[in-house]
Amino acid sequence: MDLLADNRDAISEHLLSLGWISAAEKIENMTSAGEGNMNRTLRVTLDSRSIVLKQSVPYVARYPDIAAPVERIAMEAEFYRAVADQSELSRYMPAVLGFDPGNHLLCLEDLGPSSDFMDLYDPDERGGDTTAHNDDLTSLVSWLSELHVLPNLDRRLPRGLDNHAMRELNHAHIFEIPLTAGNGLTLETGLDSIAEQFTNDEALRERATALGQMYLGRKPHDSPKVLLHGDFYPGSWLKHPSSGIKVIDPEFAFLGPPEFDVGVLLAHLTMCRYEQPELARLLDNYIPPPGFSHTLVDAFAGIEVIRRLLGVAQLPLSATVESKITWLHSARSMVLGG
Ligand SMILES: Nc1ncnc2c1ncn2[C@@H]1O[C@H](COP(=O)(O)OP(=O)(O)OP(=O)(O)O)[C@@H](O)[C@H]1O
Ligand SMILES: [Mg+2]
């Protein structure tokens, strides 16, 4: 069953056979659920309710010539299952209404016409008010903090949540491609020369390799292994006018170092142009587990800044090239630990 808007009859029949809709329900409309690249996502409007369907395919849905692990939707489903009974976490996520592993198809509660947080990268959208989103960000940081102390992981995830294929994919994009000479990426003038410096920087590359090994679970860390969201950035957050903030898209989730999620968050808040002491205030709501390393957070944050500015997955940043260069230099120091 292909989750495509022009495949309405087959989708309708399939939903009926799964019991996800009843015979009395008719599909009134099927439209894109929102912006996304990796998967197929559709909002299905029925007479009296709507649902969101998400289907993974063995490639990036928007770029079919790029292969991607099809089992990612099962990883996402496992994450949702693992947190379902923890209301402090699950109430900030859509409810799972069904999972059809054979068709790599997930049925989610429709959070409604929410907006994502991608405009956070453009502070002009905040009308000069640096505190405009502080309540939402505080809630998101608290959510992450709760996630990282989720108890009984062995019981919740008896097979673990290795998500190895997705980690391998991300590993290449985060820790390797941006620091590899001749990676074929075209960068804006000013960033290209830094990219060249960085690809020749043995210390930086060595540290990135070590961080990458930790990300892949091949190098130990002092902090406990926790359940990570794995992609905790503004594209994974939604805001609904009445029900508030939501976290979606845990397809990169895995059991690993909490510093990775926090580092990614720190990197994105930096690129949203939050500065000290605002940054520190926001992150203050994160309660670090024992053994947690702020140096490691900085290192993961640095590598995330580097990969977002010099790698494939670029962001809608409004910052000047001068700001980006400043971020890159400080990112390098953070990766190297000072
Ligand atoms: N449960 C939901 N309720 C309402 N809207 C949703 C829901 N799930 C997803 N969306 C919308 O669809 C968009 C894409 O969803 P999602 O990020 O899960 O897909 P994706 O293919 O994994 O995206 P990406 O390529 O960014 O990883 C979201 O940004 C959001 O606008
Ligand atoms: Mg995704």
What is the per-residue pLDDT across 278-298, written as a single tens digit (0 to 9) for each? 999 999 999 999 999 999 999
Which residues make up the environment of ion ligand 2, defined by Cβ < 5 Å? Answer: 38, 249, 251
Whose atoms come closest to the Cα of 243: which ligand? 1
**Could you tell me the distance, in angstroms and rounded to a whole number, from the CA of residue 251 to the centre of ligand 2?**
6
CB 93 within 8 A of CB 246: yes
Would you say residue 249 has pLDDT above 80? yes
Cα–ligand 2 centroid distance for 128 (angstroms)? 30
300 has a pLDDT exceeding 70: yes
pLDDT tens digits for range 135-156 = 999 999 999 999 999 999 999 9
Two tokens, residue 245: 């903030």
Cβ-contact 73, 53 below 8 angstroms: no
CA–CA separation, 214 vs 256, rounded Å?
8
> Residue 42: is its pLDDT beyond 70?
yes
What integer pLDDT is reported at residue 138 of this predicted model? 96
Percentage, residues of the chain above pLDDT 90: 92
Mutation probe of ligand 1 site: the residue of 41, 99, 170, 239 with most atoms within 8 A of C-beta: 41
State the average pLDDT for the chain.
96
Which atom of ligand 1 lies at the shortest distance from residue 32's CA? 12
Q: How confident is the model at residue 129 (pLDDT cuts 50, 70, 90)?
A: confident
Residue 235 C-alpha to ligand 2 middle, in angstroms?
8
Ligand 2 centroid from CA 163, angstroms:
14
d(CA 314, CA 299): 19
pLDDT tens digits along 208-224: 999 999 999 999 999 99
pLDDT of the residue at 114 = 80
Nearest CA to ligand 1 atom 15: 36
Mean pLDDT of 106-125: 89
Give the residue whose CA is nearest to atom 24 of ligand 1. 36
- pLDDT of 116 > 90? The answer is no
pLDDT digits (tens, 9 = 90+) for 252-282: 999 999 999 999 999 999 999 999 999 999 9
Domains of the chain in sequence order: 8-109 (3.30.200.20), 115-336 (3.90.1200.10)
Q: Is the peptide bond before 277 cis (omega within 30 degrees of 0)?
A: yes
pLDDT of residue 124: 81
d(CA 31, CA 12): 14
The model's confidence at residue 125, banded by pLDDT at 50, 70 and 90, is: confident
In a mutational test of the pocket of ligand 1, which residue from 53, 56, 249, 308 has the highest number of ligand atoms less than 8 Å from its CB?
Answer: 249
For residue 308, pLDDT over 90 is answered with yes
pLDDT above 90: residue 338: no
**What 3-state class would DSSP assign to 246?**
strand
50-72 pLDDT, tens digit each: 999 999 999 999 999 999 999 99
Would you say residue 128 has pLDDT above 70? no
CB atoms within 10 A of CB 69: 19
Length of the chain as a residue count: 338
Probe residue for ligand 1, chosen from 93, 115, 238, 308 as the CB with the greatest number of ligand atoms within 8 Å: 238
Q: How many CB atoms are located within 10 Å of the residue 215 CB?
A: 23
Residues with CB under 6 A from ligand 1: 33-39, 41, 52, 54, 94, 108-111, 114, 116, 235, 238, 248-249, 251
Asked if residue 194 has pLDDT above 90, the reply is: yes
State mean pLDDT over 219-237: 97
What's the CA gap between 16 and 72, in Å, rounded? 24
* Residue 241, pLDDT above cutoff 70: yes
Of the chain, the percentage scoring pLDDT greater than 70 comes to: 99
